Chains A and B, each alone.
Chain A
Amino acid sequence: MTFQSLDSSPVASVEVPPGAAILRRGAVAARTKFNRYGLLLAFLAFWQIGSTQGWINPTVFPPLDKILAATWEGLVGGALLDDIAISLQRSGLAFAAAVGLAIPLGLFMGQIRAVEQALDPILQFFRQTSALALYPVFILLLGLGEASKVFVIFWATLFPILLATIGGVKEVDRKLIEMAATFGASRTTIFRRVVLPASVPSIFVGLRLSATTALLLLIAAEMIGANKGLGFQVMNAQYNFQIPQMFAAILLLAALGLTANALLVTLQRRLCRWADLTH
C-alpha cells in the first residue's frame, strides 16, 4: 500500500450528503466574495444611507439610486451614448496607435544596444515631461480639435509601452538565447522563439499602465475645449449643477477603465499562462 492510498482511504469512507457539500462550497465562495467586496459594499451602503438621511450633503453626494437613475436615463435615453462613443474613439485610436508604434519599436530598440543607448536619454526626458504639460503645445501645433486630443493620449501612452517593451527585451535571459544558438537557431528564429515570448509579460505591464494613463489623459483632454465625451460631461454637468448626471459620467468612466483592465488581464492570462500569475 502506498502513502497516497493510505492517505485517501479515510476520506473516501466518510459519507458526505451531496447537498451539504454543495451548500458548504457555496458558503466558502460567498465568504471569499465577501472578503473581497465587503468593504466596497459597506462604503456604498454608507453613501446611500448617509445621503438619504442627510448625514452627508445630498446636493454634493446624491443618493446612489439617483445616480444610477441618471446613468440609466443617459444610456437608454441615448444622451450619453454619443459621449461614450467619442471617448472610446479618442482613447482607442490613441492607444492602438501607441501599441502599434511602441511594441515594434521597443522590440527593435531592445535588441540593438547602440540604438537603445542613443535613444535612452531622450526617452527618459520625454517620459518625465508630463503629457498634460505638453498639451498646450499640441494644441498650438494641431489646433483644439480631435487631432490634439488623440495626440496627447497617444503621447502619454506611448512611453510606458515603449519602455516596458525595451526592458522586456533587454532582460531576456542570455543563457536561453545561447541555448537556442547551440541548436543552430538563426537571429530571426531566436527573436521569434525566445526573445518575443520572453518579453510578453513585461509588455503587458506596459500595456496595463498605458491603459490607465489613456483614461486619465482622455478625461483631462475632454475637460479642455471639448463639447462631447464623458470627460466633457463630467465638467458640463458640474457647471449646470446636474450632480447626479456628473456622477453618472464619472461612473461610466470608471466602468470604462475597469473593462479595459479586465480585457487586458484576460488576454495576459491567456498569453502568459506559463508565468506564475498572482494578479
Chain B
Amino acid sequence: MNVVEDTRRGEVTVRDLSKSFALNGQRLPVLRNLQLDIRGGEALAIVGPSGCGKTTLLRILAGLDRPDTGEVLIDGHPVRGVGTERAVIFQEPRLLPWLTVLGNVSFGLTVRGLTQAEAETRARHYIRLVGLGDFEAAYPRQLSGGMAQRVGIARALTVQPEILLLDEPLGALYAMTKLTMQEELTRIWREEKVTMVLVTHDLEEAIYLSDWVLVLPKAKGALPRLIEIDLPRPRDRSESRFVAMRKRLMAEFGLH
C-alpha cells in the first residue's frame, strides 16, 4: 500500500521542455530540453540573469503559454492550460482598479462560484494574513506598491492552490517589508502545504525560502543547474552555512 502518494499532491514534472520565440524573423531559443522534478510540498526557486527564461518557464507551468516540445505534468496529468490546482502571483499586482481590497481578494473565489458572502469571509482571513486588515475598503489606487503586491498574494492564496507560482513577487517591495513577506511566505508555504515555484533575482531570498534552486543560464550551451539547499529551517541569514551557500550560488554567476 502506498500511503505517501495521497499526501504528495502538487507534484510538478517537466519533461524535455523547449521553448523559443520569434525575434526579428529568427527563432530565439529560451528554454532547451529542460528536465525538472518537484515533489509535492517542496519549494523551488528559479534564479538567473534577466532574459534567461524564468518568466517563460513559470508561464508554461501556469498553463498560460505552451511549450514548443516536451510537457509539464502535475500529479502525473499533462498540463493543457490553466488549472484550479495552480495559482499565479505575477510580477505586477494586477488588481482590478474598480474593486476594493476585499473585492479583489474575493475575486478568484467568486469566479470559482462562491457567493460574495462566502468569498468575503475567506478573503478576510487572507487579507489579515498579509497584514492589510485595516485596508479592506481601500481601492488599489490608494495603496502603495508593496501593499498592492500583498493584495495579489492574498488573492492567490484564497483559492488554496496545491501549487503556488510566483514571479518575482517581492521584487518591488521595500527592504524591510520584503524580509517580513519572506517570513510570511515561508509560514504560508509550511502551513498550507503548497508546492512553491518562486522566480527571484535575489539569491538570499532563494536560499531563505527554497529546498532547491534552479539556476537558468543565459549563455548558449550552458546547462541549467539544480542546487539543493540542505539547511535546517527556520533559516538564519547570518548563519555560516547560509553564508557559504550564498557564496556558492554567487560563484554560479561568476561573482565572489
Contacts and interface: CB of A to CB of B under 8 A. Distances in A.
Given A179-B90, A184-B84, A189 B96 contact: no
Contact of A183 (B97, B112, B139): B112
Nearest to B94: A179
A274 B141 contact: yes
B4 interface: no
B97 A275 contact: yes
A178 B64 contact: yes
A182 B108 CA distance: 9
Interface in A162-219: 175-176, 178-185, 189, 193-194, 197-198, 200
Interface in A246-279: 272, 274-276
Contacts of A272: 98
Contacts, number: 53
Interface of B is mostly: loop
Contacts of A176: 94, 96
Given A274-B139, A276-B141, A183 B96 contact: no
Interface string B45-59: 000000000000000
A24 B86 CA distance: 59
Contacts of B94: 175-176, 178-179
Given A175-B90, A189-B111, A276-B141, A182 B96 contact: no
A197 B112 contact: no
Interface string B72-107: 000000000011101110101010111100000001
A184 B82 contact: yes
Closest 9 CB pairs of A and B: A183-B108, A274-B98, A179-B94, A183-B111, A182-B88, A185-B111, A197-B98, A182-B82, A274-B139
Interface of A: 175-176, 178-185, 189, 193-194, 197-198, 200, 272, 274-276
Interface of B: 62, 64, 82-84, 86-88, 90, 92, 94, 96-99, 107-108, 111-112, 139-141, 159
